Structure 1
Amino acid sequence: MPTKPTIARVWRGRTRRDLADAYQAYLQAEGIPPLRKTALGVQQLREDRDEETWFTTISYWADIAAMTAFTKGEPTKVHHLARDAEFLIELPERIEIHRILIDEQGLR
């Protein structure tokens, strides 16, 4: 039986609309692959607003220990990608860590 996640790690960042497509490609090439290899699952969300675009990355983990191993012992520290400062309006200062209370997937 597959392991079910108990922890969701949430990162949010925003960029100018004119940089959004380039940042999305960069984030998918550099930020998402390590999560795909290690996390139980990953989602990337995009919200286009008038002047800026928000990206949210959610990774799912079996437990705090698994997530802590991935983050090299610092689960709440933001690990910026090399070009984040070039793309992002401001560098995010925090990561959200949530316990998953209900996990129902699928559309009805």
Structure 2
Amino acid sequence: MAENGGRGPTVARIWRGRTRRDRADAYEAYNYEVGIKPLIEKAIGVQTMREDRETETEFVTISYWESVEAMAAFTGRDPTAIHHLPRDAEFLLELPETVQILRLVTSHGKTGGT
């Protein structure tokens, strides 16, 4: 049972990765197919963000979960452990070593999309 009585997410898992700017579109498509689609099926919500800079692009993925236990059930292990996609080493400038897990305290306004 979620800490908030099942009314929504109580934690967010934040992943960050950087790629060369000229590989960003290809990585975005790959990441969606291999990394984001499975999250969409299991997490309460998923947001992906992208910042294009002169020579590199940073991607941020935030997935929202009812509990840390729900994240662990999805990953099959410690949800704070990093999980690299099969082609991440090909695309990313360096492989991220950590993810950030934050407890949601409040949420205001409308977020969401299609």
Q: Compute the TM-score of the two structures, normalised by the length of structure 2.
A: 0.89
Equivalent in 46, 49, 53 of residue 49 of structure 1? 53
Counterparts of 1:61-100 in structure 2, within 5 Å, are 61-100=65-104
Letter in 2 for 1:99: R
Letter in 2 for 1:4: G
Separation (CA, whole Å) in 2 of partners of 1:3 and 1:41: 13
Counterparts of 1:19-38 in structure 2, within 5 Å, are 19-38=23-42
Deviation, structure 1 residue 50: 1.0
Deviation, structure 1 residue 85: 0.2
Q: Which 4+ runs in 1 deviate beyond 3 A?
A: none
Deviation, structure 1 residue 2: 6.5
Equivalent in 10, 17, 21 of residue 14 of structure 2? 10
Separation (CA, whole Å) in 1 of partners of 2:109 and 2:97: 30
Deviation, structure 1 residue 3: 3.2
Deviation, structure 1 residue 102: 1.1
What is the percentage of aligned positions where both structures have the same residue?
56
The gaps in structure 2 that reach 5 residues or longer are: none
Separation (CA, whole Å) in 2 of partners of 1:3 and 1:57: 22
Number of equivalenced pairs: 107
Separation (CA, whole Å) in 2 of partners of 1:54 and 1:103: 25
- In terms of mean alpha carbon deviation, does 71-80 or 85-94 score higher? 71-80
Separation (CA, whole Å) in 1 of partners of 2:29 and 2:9: 27
